[in-house]
Structure 1
Amino acid sequence: MLDTPPEEVFDRITRVVAELLQVPIVLVSLVDEHRQWFKSRVGLDVCETARDVSFCSHAVHSEALLVVDDALADERFASNPLVTGEPFVRFYAGVPLRSAEGLVLGTLCAIDTKPRTLSANLRAALCDLAATVERELVQREAARDTREVQENDRRRLRLSETRFHTIFQQTPTGKAIVDLDGRFIEVNPKLCEITGYSASELVHMTFQEITEEADLAADLQLVAELLSGARQTYSLEKRYRKRDGGTVWIHLSVALLRDHDGTPSHFVSVMQDITSRRHSEQLLRDYQQELERRVLERTCELTSSRMALQTITDNLPILIAHVDANLCYRFNNEVYRDVFGFDPMALRGKSVRETVGDEVFECSYPLFQRVLAGERVTHEDIVYNVESGRVWSATYIPDMERGKVVGFYVMSQDITERKQRENQMHSEIMLDALTGLPNRRALQEQLSLAVHSARDEEIPFALFFMDLDGFKAINDQYGHDAGDALLRQVAHRLKKATRATDLVCRLAGDEFVLLARDIASASACSRIAQDICRAIGKTFDLGQREAQLGTSVGIAMCAAGYATSTETMLAEADRAMYEAKRKGRNGFRFAPISAEAELATPRMAAVSAAA
């Protein structure tokens, strides 16, 4: 390797390290008896230096990463000519590069002209990239024997872990890996943003420490059910105490990962900041309670004049009633005629069940018991008349006389339009703005349902992960407008090539995912993948020009009764897609299927679009 020409595979890594760590100098250094020679370099003109003054001669004796935060403060390097003179090294981080036999060949090192501290995440990333350099060196060192194959398998695992780490860090939701005692093992930047704590602070804390005390018991109960095997995952809404003393509402989803023998290993948690939504909901509740309070105050003021009370309540756009302790009406306003078709005067003395019907009454009866016990209760999403399609929200307010509950007031508002707006907002959140397809959030929701259906209802499904071949070149050549138009055409073709019951999603960029339920055979998956490849392989019309694409498809299957997770299914399909792309593109590959699935399908299969 010494004195060989530069190679892009090494230069690419040094450029990535320079950008990732934001340092001016990055080197792949190979060391012999008298010198260190640079196979790849960024920010340095010379191609070698004497070994006796090099930092790498120290790094090669390290078991792992050698970091020098400030060379002037380190007695080993304070008088080094590379520190006191050009290039004025102050910061150094170097990872030893070893041969297949474990001999140190050199280092991947990052250098800065000013002191600095390297975070744990950046240290791990530098070690991962050094492993990539090491792999390239080993591939040049020995023939492809059994040891090399095993080493490549280990490196692919590290690459998978690096990909997971990238997704973990860049996701727009908070994510954390938590040990069985609740201590944070690893957190991503979004969780730090949500809580106000730095990553270094959080990894010395437990989730119990930052959870609002009032919400902790419910959370711990669900954790106990996870550990006992009573449930596979759980979700809840709770509050975190932020570093500045404030609170933030989050939607928390937790899964427990177990070892191969079923022993609990650690938790994977996903947190979404829902503070603004909770605040909006609270404002609506406050507004509704204020309206109810004002109406009730006005109603109480007019109890001495039944005629005045009737006149006012008849002209309010809400159902108002007074019910006694025997659940019979004592008063109803005119709106009852419009909703139920009964004369309000004829309802007095009649039971609530006779008016609202058995189904609504049975659903509401536990709430009636609570209000008669002195509790103010609100009942959302009541449908008094299925044919009308109107949705109501009822509030039951105790009627107190000399400290005793003698009945309650009913105030029921029509919230149909509000529910429609909420449903519309939910739909908009679940759609990709460019293609109109369901987005990543919709996929996560539906995939989670599919996973549970496969396990609990024994309904199998298959996940197809698609990445367009050649899209970037078209996007770069013809511009983003043409690229957007192309993505919309791809979405249209995918919808036409799949069943109406299948879910086609745009994940991000030129990545699409198909969720096909009730698919149990590899042959059926192969036909679907072939249809997709043929559909995408046809020429696209971009106005005055045409474009040709292919697609690489990764397929992960989940058998009936098989327990898995959404993360595992996506990761398996993603890996199979990359295998299809590596094997020639415009084809498909199956992900390895676990023995528990007991599906009669080969571990890997590939078909070109032409086939």
Structure 2
Amino acid sequence: MITAPLPLDEDLRLRALQRLDILDSDPEEAFDRITRLAARAFGVPVVLVSLVDEDRQWFKSHYGITACETPRSMSFCAHAVLSKRMLVVEDALDDERFLDNPLVLGAPLRLADGQVIGTLCLIDTQARNFEPGDAEALADYAQLVERELEVRRQLIRSRTAHERDRRSLAISEARFTTVFKETPIGNALVALDGRFMDVNETFSDITGYDEATLRTLTFAEVTHPADVASDVALTAELVAGKQSTYTTEKRYMRPDGTAIWVNLAVTLLRDAAGLPLHFIAAVQDIDTRKRSEEALRNYHAELEERVRERTTELRRRRDALQTITDNLPVLIAVVDRDLRYRFNNETFRRVLSTPGSVLRGASVRDTLRAEVFERLQPYFTRALAGERVTCDEVRYRADEDRVWCTTYIPAEREGKVTGFYVMSHDVTEQRRTEQRLRENALIDPLTGLANRRALEEELGATLAEASPFALCFIDLDGFKGINDRFGHDTGDALLREVANRLTSTVRAGDFVSRLGGDEFVVLSRGVTEAASAERIAQAICQTLARPVVAGGQMVEASASVGVLLHDTDETGVRPDEPLSLADAAMYEAKRAGRNTWRMARAAPRAALLPQ
């Protein structure tokens, strides 16, 4: 292969790499995690975090290979370092620079100062296309590596700064005695018991006490009562070694009883053995600033409260939205023009019971059940033609009675449809709820029979089919007296028993319904002869005439039945007309003495009603 020439700023680049103190360091999980995730995300066998040294490329993390370094002369990454941008070689055999090198892709690793010290490399054993979206994803992974490198650089800088501060402190201690008195900041040496050992003139001016008086007092005695506890706690932490210094804002009480705000910085001086000697306190007068801040806080108090309330509301809405989206039963996939999956989310893979590595690139035809694919193929065609389409009922698995509402959204790039997005929502419970609501709307809650609405739908469908039928309109005899004598609970029990007897008496395919009160209707399809209709009515009268045990009472009841025979020659009949005629015939049966039936006459209902 062709060796990459050295960058013009090679010396600066090498110094930046060496300052990281990372070469030949032990493996770190932070880098290894990134290479593992990148290998899974891009489906490649090898991923490297490669750092290009003077004469080698050394791998801080190497997923998929055991080698820790290779010569720079055969380094693909050296070309990426030279170009300082992402370098993609989709087929190394077609590029004279890499004929004998298997590396195919590298994203540069750039430090904060702009120096490129290596690459995040993807290695594959075969040529492959690399889409712009993949390049963006790889750049994101490279930024994760760069962030870890920046953290390392910051740690080194912090250690260097700490050492510099330590040396500065030694110099400061040597000069302390000289500058203690002359500094414009209030200084004080305080014993471990809180007694003032020495103060400068500025400290006396701030507190209002002269030096002689201060030497007779402790810091707690000149501190505002509300600030003493926190001040004592902080000094205790210094003595315990929990911290080496602290800074706080507190109030001193002057001899005239006024309070003054100061910024207090305290350091504990220790001897060579580490034992505490005394405190060094530096004090600045911030009373004017504190009073200005207090005035500003009061001025903006209402505004800040409103901001807090608004922030709380926005956070609550954001959390609610996050919770909703995290729990949506949504299947998401991306399909190309060849009907092959390019992306699937975890829900999609779980529903299809297929690992993600197998599903990516798989044919939609081979993945879905044959009947599902045949049903959805027209939707695929329309989506690839640029149309957004939705299939309201998709059943992905034969072993689950789950229903999905699936939307296919065209995916476009530069004005051309490159495939489509798949978004499926689980609507199983919605369908079940709709079915339950429909059933509840058509069922009589007391008897469990079909109600008036269900009867009207059934009667309308029967008339539309032009099928012959017999219609029996049933009204219990003396039901009001039973209710009045035994109570409504007994009446309800009687109605339930009537429903059971009617269902057991008529044919298996007959439609039994309760209109309301003590009125029932039986619709018998296929009955063409009056004799057959009368036999049904007779059986109804006989079964309802038998005594009934209802609500613990022996109840004797009977029924009057009006029978309508409808043949196919009658057209244009409304559903309410057969009911009206059968109702009129039922009243004839009641006039005839009850517990009997009468056949309806093809006459207006008004002529059949009692006068």
Larger Rg: 2
TM over 0.5: no
- The interval holding the TM-score normalised by the smaller chain is 0.3 to 0.5
TM-score by length of 2: 0.43
